[in-house]
């Protein structure tokens, strides 16, 4: 009986170790999300840019305008860093993976640490909420 318990314990430890070393989650990207306001009016490009920057800052991203219609967001959490490109127009925006540090990024499998997905979803949710609240 002791030997059976030891074998089960070893199997459980091996399974937990294997699960802990998983490659990660698929890279979560927001592609061509519509810019929608509560009034239905189309915001200016400057309003969309300001809204994206405010949402990023609220979520502790460092936002930098690369050119009109494109923002680069950088998030640093402890020793992890994520960089995204956010192209946008008056009608849509995307949040696209650009680079990372210490997030188990695997280019072949297109996977990354699961926390990355959470960060992008938080950013996207806040952008959507702020765009909806825009009134022209």
DSSP annotation string for 46-89: HHHHHHHHHHHHHTT-EEEEEETTEEEEEEEETTEEEEEEEEB-
CATH architecture of 26-133: 2-Layer Sandwich (3.30)
- Predicted pLDDT of residue 24: 86
Per-residue model confidence as pLDDT tens digits over 36-94: 999 999 999 999 999 999 999 999 999 999 999 999 999 999 999 999 999 999 999 99
> Is residue 13's pLDDT more than 70?
no
> Is residue 104's pLDDT more than 50?
yes
- Predicted pLDDT of residue 135: 74
Residue with tokens 């809204």: 51
Residue 12 three-state SS: helix
- Predicted pLDDT of residue 8: 54
| Cβ proximity of 98 and 83 under 8 Å | yes
> Is residue 27's pLDDT more than 70?
yes
The residue among 3 and 46 whose pLDDT is bigger is 46
The one-character DSSP state at 21 is T
Q: What is the mean pLDDT of the chain?
A: 88
Prediction pTM value: 0.82
> From CA 35, how far away is CA 88, in angstroms rounded?
9
> Is residue 22's pLDDT more than 70?
no
Residue 22 three-state SS: coil
* H-run or E-run covering 7: helix 2-20
């Amino acid at each position: 009986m002791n030997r059976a318990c030891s074998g089960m314990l070893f199997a459980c430890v091996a399974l937990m170790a294997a699960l802990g070393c998983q490659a990660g989650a698929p890279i979560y990207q927001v592609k061509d999300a519509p810019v929608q306001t509560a009034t239905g009016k189309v915001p200016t490009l400057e309003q969309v840019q300001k809204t994206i920057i405010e949402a990023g800052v609220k979520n502790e991203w460092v936002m930098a305008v690369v050119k009109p219609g494109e923002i680069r967001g950088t998030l640093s959490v402890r020793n992890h860093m994520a960089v995204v490109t956010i192209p946008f127009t008056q009608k849509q925006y995307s949040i696209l993976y650009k680079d990372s540090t210490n997030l188990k990024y695997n280019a072949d499998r297109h996977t990354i640490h699961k926390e990355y997905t959470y960060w992008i979803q938080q950013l996207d949710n806040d952008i959507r909420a702020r765009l909806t609240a825009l009134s022209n």
